[in-house]
């Protein structure tokens, strides 16, 4: 039996808000995830930290939610940072070619609280290309 996705923290952080999650992110839980992120970022206008430290599993559908939210936030120069140190989930980011598209840090102490910078512009361009490449008409790259 899978662990249901739960929002365990939704509070402020220096450069925006933090959403800490627990459980599993799958097709059934992504609507809740999408809603929580949109609400925490106030429609993409504020930076957001998504803490996946207590997430046991994430399906590709969860990656799409993170990417969609970052794309919306980038239009307002707001940053989405993902806290993740799970080797299995980091491998998912890598296989899906998102390791250099999303800002991924191993813990909250590694968060960059500076404002939007050139590296964020570069990430936004890579994200835009990723979303175009792997939109609804195609699938993310498969593991080889």
Q: Higher confidence at residue 133 or residue 137?
A: 133
Give the pair of three-digit tokens for residue 54: 């207590």
Average pLDDT, the chain: 87
Give the pair of three-digit tokens for residue 130: 């990723």
CATH number of 6-133: 3.30.750.24
One DSSP character per residue, 60-89 reads HHHHHHHHHHHHHHHTTT--EEEE---HHH
Within the chain, how many helices (H) and strands (E) appear? 4, 5
Confidence of residue 6 (pLDDT cuts 50, 70, 90): confident
pLDDT digit string (tens) for 78-96? 999 999 999 999 999 999 9
Question: What is the domain partition of the chain in residue ranges?
Answer: 6-133
């Amino acid at each position: 039996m899978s662990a249901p996705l739960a929002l365990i923290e939704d509070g402020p952080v220096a450069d925006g808000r933090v959403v800490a999650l627990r459980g599993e992110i799958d097709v059934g839980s992504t609507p809740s995830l999408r809603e929580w992120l949109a609400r925490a970022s106030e429609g993409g206008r504020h930076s957001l930290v998504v803490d996946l430290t207590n997430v046991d599993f994430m399906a590709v559908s969860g990656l799409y939610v993170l990417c969609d939210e970052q794309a919306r936030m980038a239009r307002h120069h707001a940053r989405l940072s993902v806290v993740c140190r799970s080797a299995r989930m980091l491998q998912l980011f890598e296989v899906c070619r998102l390791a250099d598209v999303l800002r991924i840090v191993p813990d909250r102490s590694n968060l960059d609280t500076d404002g939007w910078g050139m590296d964020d512009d570069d990430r936004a361009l890579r994200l835009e290309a990723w979303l175009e490449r792997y939109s609804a008409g195609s699938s993310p790259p498969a593991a080889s």
